[in-house]
Amino acid sequence: MEATETEIQSLAALVERFRVCWEVWPEYMFIKQEKRQIGFTLEIVGTHEADIEHPTPGCEHCLRVFAALRQIGVHILPKEKRPTGYEIQIYDHAIRYTPKRRNRPEVSLAIKILHRHEFELPVDECESRCLDEMKQRLRDLGAYEGHWRARMEDHR
């Protein structure tokens, strides 16, 4: 079921509030001593609200960020059943600091994009298409790849 315009606006507000961005990582497996890419991990990251100082891993503020990331993650998943499967990873109670994003305290949500069956198969067209659709849905909500950028910056 597609999201309503109100739901999409609510999700876009979460992207803005928690300054959400994302990155894609290859998912590898060793098969017969050969390293093979079998899928992707789409990592969605956000940070605490601007007025939160000195968050601690797993605190109520982190849980709020993760809850928002989970709502966004569920929204971007393709709705129809495909040969590709998606697995939203559980919260790891960690705060990460990435120089790429000026060492802001971040909470992350990882979505594994793999074959639904026969995990050892190499990446195929379906997995790539699913990833592309998910990335586009993130862009539509105002999230950018690699770093946070407010929508206002787009119009400068």
**pTM of the entire structure?**
0.91
Q: Long-range contacts of range 46-51, CB-CB < 8 Å, 24 or more positions apart?
A: 46/18, 46/19, 46/20, 46/21, 46/106, 46/107, 46/108, 47/18, 47/19, 47/104, 47/105, 47/106, 47/107, 47/148, 48/18, 48/105, 48/107, 49/17, 49/18
pLDDT in tens, 67-98: 999 999 999 999 999 999 999 999 999 999 99
Written as tens digits, the pLDDT of the chain (156 aa) is 678 999 999 999 999 999 999 999 999 999 888 899 999 999 999 999 988 887 899 999 999 999 999 999 999 999 999 999 999 999 999 999 999 999 999 999 999 999 988 877 889 999 999 999 999 999 999 999 999 887 655 443
